[in-house]
Each structure stands twice: as C-alpha cells, then as structure tokens.
Structure 1
Amino acid sequence: MQVTETLNEGLKRGYAITVTAAELEAKVNEKLAEAQPEIEMKGFRKGKVPMPLLKKQFGARLLGEAMQETIDGAMNKHFEESGQRPAMQPEVKMTNDDWKEGDDVHVEMSYEALPEIPEVDLKSVSLEKLVVKAQDADIDEALGNLASTAKEFETKDGAAENGDQVVMDFVGKIDGTPFDGGAAEDYPLELGSNSFIPGFEDQLVGVKAGEEKAVTVSFPEEYQAPHLAGKEAVFDCTIKEVKAAKAAEINDELAKKFGADDLSALKAQIGERLEAEYTGAARAVLKRGLLDALDKIVTFELPPSLVDAEAGQIAHQLWHEENAHVHGHDHPEIEPTDEHKKLAERRVRLGLLLAEIGRKAEVQVSDAEFTQAVMNQARQYRGQERQFFEFVQQNPQMQQQIRAPLFEDKVVDYIFELATIADKEASKDDLQKAVEALDEE
C-alpha cells in the first residue's frame, strides 16, 4: 500500500492512497480462510468446501468488504503515525472509476486537521465569583408568592373581576353544533389566569351569579386539536357562582401545607432554595468570565469547515427564533452574517480548547452521570420516557448531544480548581444584571 501527500496548506491535507490488487486478493483469501470452517455447501462436509469454489461463490462480495477495510485501515494507520486528528469526517473517493477486478485501487483522501492547541497556564487565570446571600426581604417575597399559590376562594356578591373565580357550566359550539371536549359542569375558572382560549376570560369580567353569557372566541391557528384550529366557537356559559380570592395566611399552618414543621422551618427552606438558585446563576456568570478570559489569551488557526458549520447553525437558530411561526425547515437559505461568523469563531476556538484541556486532563463523563442526564431529559416527555430512552440508546448523535455539555462542565470545573478565584459579595440585583448580560453574546 502506498500513501502519498498531495496537499498541505494550513490545516488542509490531501493524500493519494494506492491499494494493490495483490493486497486485495490477500485480504479476500484471509476472509475466506476465516469463514471456511463454518461454511456448508451441497456435496461437501461442513468446513471442507474447497477454497477455489468458495472464492467463486463469495469472492465478489468479499472483495468490496476487503476494499473498504483496507482503505479504512490505511486511514487509521495514517492518523496513528502522523498524530493528526481530522476536524470532520475525511472525504474519501475512488479516482479510477473504470476499476475492474485485478486492478489496483486508487483513492483520494482529504480533510482539515485539528490545529495544534497551545498550552495554557490555567493557574494564571484570575476570576471573580459573585456571592449572594438570601436577604429577609427576598425570603418574604418568595414566601408571599408561595402563599398566593395556596389561596382560597370565597363566594361574593356582585360582578366578577380579574383575579376572581367564576364557577360555571358551559357548552361550546362551532356553527351551532357542540363539539367533543367543549362542555363542562361546575367548572372553576380563575379570570386572568390565561388558562382558556385567548379572549375567553376577558368576556367573563363583569358577569354575576345566575347570568347566562355567550362567549365568542377563535381557536388559535396552531391549536393542538387540528379539527378546532383557527375556527370560531361560541360557548354558552351559565354562571353559578362568583368567588373572590382570599390570600392564605402566612403562619405555621401554611408551612405545614408545604411540608415544613413550622413557619421558621419553611423560611429556612426558602432561604436555602434561593441561595442554591443564586449559586447556580453565579456559576453561569463565572463560567462566562472564564470563557472571556481564555478567549483573550489563546489564539490558533481554526478549521474553516468547523467555523462555517457553526456559523450556519447560529444563523439558522436565530432565524427560527425571529420566525417562531415556522416550525419546519421549508424556508429560504439562510446566509450567515459577519457577526454570526465572528461568534462561530469564538465558539469553535473555545470548544477545541476545552476539548484539548479535558483530553489532557483525562476528564471523563461516567455512565452514571450520563444516565442521570438522560433521566432528567426524559422527564420532559411524561408518559413517553421509555420511548425516549430507546431513542437515545439507538442514536449515537443524540448521545453525543447529551454528553457534550456534561463534558464541558466537568472541564470547566477542572479549570476552576486551578484558576485563582476571588469571592465578591453582591446583591440579588447585581447578580440579575450579570445574568442578563449573558444573553448579549
């Protein structure tokens, strides 16, 4: 086998690979010899079929396998000996299209190599970590929000207002005909909760107990039930009661409703939860600070294919965010801007750097960590958890999508252990501003 370099410009590499006919024949004979003991054929005992007959029967099929294995072997040997790693899957094509059995095979292989990534003195990286303590006012605010979820409703006289609860019977009709799922009795609806079709609750403001009200609304174009989407419906509503909300009293009884022994214990739990949230947000800010620092001190040549792919993905994602009504990919081609390419360069550079740091530090995502991450994502598909697990199990690309952020976070934690990090006391508002700034990337 002969491998000859044909291109070496920047990170671009090209090689011509020649696999001789003799090598292919030897590979086919090797595969036939491996299979011979298990082959049965009419007129011969198992394992006793002559080699020439086997070659006539199976040689053509095995030739293709031998060709692929030999080329793959040449590529792997090249990467092992050169120490190069391709940025993306190498492009491999056969150049002698008129090939026939008995000819040598000529192949061209081209790829972009991953660059040499410089060493970084991680101990020289200085960062600042925001430390936020839960204040009494923050705990009281959270406690008030919690109490609002435990509110009760009491019957009142007079007209319904936003925030009141209306208890009613209703029947929905389209073109005068009731439709499935459009009727209920003694249904409690909190006005202003936006739990019904847009516009429905607004039309019930001002109703009184004993009244009948026809509410006319249109189902959204993207409504979950296709037979109702975009259609106008009239709901005949009979109002039975109007109830005013009564906030729950903040006391030991409220605490017990939420599983705490008393109000003091509930406040302590809220404080711990708030500080856990602050810690998570502060870590996100700290991570951005780390990435900004690394981006300033590290530079190296980037594989154009990776940058182009990332820029295309960024442009595509942002386009869909701006055109949320388009759910598929049947849209004009989206051309990345210079801003997209600049952001892509940063992401590729930092991604390659973190990957190299993690590789050298032998950072690994354990099976237990991966399984836990899959379980966390599966919870988003209630009732379909098993199907999600099977999908992940059968989809290597999905597995990589789950592993990648886990690996990145472990590398970041590794760097945090080496970097110099100074704590800085901050307020909740300071932290909130820092978190909002993260979206300005």
Structure 2
Amino acid sequence: MNPSLILLITCCTVFLAQLGMSIYLPALPQIAGYLQVDASQVAWGLALYLIGMALPMLFWGSLAQRIGRKPVLLAALGIYGLANLALPLGATLESFLLLRFVQGIGASGISVMARVLIRDSFKGDLLAKALSWISISFVVALGIGQYVGSIIQVTLGWQAIFYLLGAVSLMMAGIVSRLSFPVLAETPSTVSPWTVYRQILSHRAFLLPALAGGLGYGVIIAFNTAAPLILQGPLNWSAADYGLLGWPISAAYFLGAVAVNRFVLRTGQQRLMALGVGLVLAGSGVMLLGSLAASSLAWLLWLPYCVAVFGQSLNYPISLSCANDGAPIAGAYAMALSGFIHQLLAAVIGGLASLMAGPHAWPLSLLCCVLALGAVLCVRFAPKRPRA
C-alpha cells in the first residue's frame, strides 16, 4: 500500500479513537443527571477509558506481530464501534463505566496499529514527521471534537454522540476490510513477547523518551479530567462555552504539530523535544501561579494551558520516534510498549486528577507542574542520538 494512503488511514483511525476521550466531555453534567449521580463519578469514565487503552496494548502489539496488521485493526475497530453503540443503552453508572472500559480496549488496538503502520512505512526524522500527522489528528479530535460534541449534545442529546461515533467506526472497519496491507519481511520471533518487552524496557534510549512523551500527555489528561468540573462549576461556564474552548486548544496543538512536520528535518528531534517539554513546564507554571493569585480568572487557567499543549505537540511525535529508534528490537513491539507506557501513565494520572477534581484549580495546576518537570528531566538525561 502507498505510504500516503497508510498515513491517511492511520490518521482517520486515530481521530476516531481520540474522539472517545473528548467528544463527550461537554455533556458530562447531562450524563451525570441522566444517571442520577454526581458529575465527579461520571468523570471516572475517562480514567477507565484510559485504563482500557493501556492494559491490552502489549497484547495488541504481539498479536500484530504474529497474525498481521489488518485483522488486528479490524478487530479493534469492531470492539470500539460496538461499545459506542451500547453506551447510551445503559441506565446505571456501573454499566456506563464498564462500557467506557470496553471502548478503551478497542481504542487501544486502534492506537497501537496506527503507530505500527506508521513505523512500518517511515524511519528516523521522517518517522517523526509522519507521526506529527498523527498528532494533528489527535488535536482535531481533542479540540474540534469537543466543540462538535457540545453541538450534538445541545441539538440531539448526549446519546447521539456515542451513536454517531459507533456508526462511523463500523463504517471505517468496512473500508479497512477492502484494503490490502503489505506483508512485511519480518518473521515472528520464537522468543516470548514478554521477554522482548523486557529487553526493550531495559534500554534508556527507549525508556526515557517514552516517559517524556507520556508525562507530557498526562498534562492533557489531567486537564481534560478536572477542567470540566472547574469551568462548568464555580466559574459557571455552559456546555457550549466549554465546547468553544476546544478551538484555542486545537489551534495550539495544530501549530505545534505543523512545526514538527516542517522543521524536524532541519532542526533535529532533540532540540525540538527539549523546546517542547520546556514549554509544557512554562505553561503549567503559569497555570499554578494564576490559580493561586487570581482563581476567578478563567483565562489564567486555559491560556497557559494552550502554551503547554503547544509544547506537548512538539514533544509527543518526537518522543515516539526517539523511543522507537532507541529500541534494540525492531517490529511492532517498541511502538506497542511506548503506547502502553503512555496510556498506563495517562490512566494513573486521570485517576489522580479525578480524586483531585473540585472547585479549586491549584491542585490540577500543581499536578501539571510535577508531570512537566518529570518530562523535562527525562529529556535532559536521555541518550543523545545522531540525526537520521
């Protein structure tokens, strides 16, 4: 298959998987009212979605290495689509959270296969450039998806959000089923996948870039978990107001992803990744200062967050590329393991943010600062690699 077509397919599937994180957020208070529970309990749906994404990633990676890319991607799209269609049918908090977990399992396979297919087609700085398109898909889902979700919620109700997402996912599976994926020369290893994963994990050249990407990603997860309750709570934002916030967030991430796409071949991965984590730390620091000094000013929360989002959009595709290049074993394993690390961190961070969710913004801002500092340290001590 043409690499450009692979890039298009992976961008579309990543877009669908990431919509599961953001598209329903403006409707969170309405879902809580329907289920007759507190909104903070419904917020756990994001943490469970992330846990569902994290847990099977290593399984998806080893399965893709054994039976091929196409059947794994089809299975993941099927699980994801059916879980979305089933979500509005539940009438209890328990059923909602369980189906969010299943939805995350499907999104996990989609995410792994998107990265693996990109890795199959691109190497070195070109891999970082290609992964920046994945970041663009991510931000469209993160921001514009949030805005679209608010429109759907207001006009059709929150149930329609999941029905539409499920229907489109199954349509995407139908398209993928008609495509022919290339058969790679790599042969499945006779060594246990868990042995392979341990060998990759033991290399600092893989681990530290992967952690840098995951900790920066955690800043976005923490904000998505706690910000709806802060902005739609004490700051009295409506669902439409919160949906509109997706536009500046989208613009920030889009600009960063475009910067990677345009400048990585000239500037190099190391310099752009260092700049990215520095901006994540700077934005998180201003969020913390603003939440302590003027907690009633919403722009002191969301505007520096956009700076952090811009930094993470520089950091994320490069961290994936560096981790993959630093892995001692080729194949789907390194991409699956980096995805597992990112989603495991995101699940833990999402859980922490859910526990810290409340009327005050400073706990969220402090958590973002800690995560950003960890990402800076990982980049600082990661082994430097020659440019490809």
Q: What's the TM-score once normalised by structure 1's chain length? A: 0.19
Identify the structure with bigger relative contact order (alpha carbons < 8 Å, sequence gap 6+). Answer: 2
The structure whose Rg is larger is 1
The structure that is strand-richer by fraction is 1
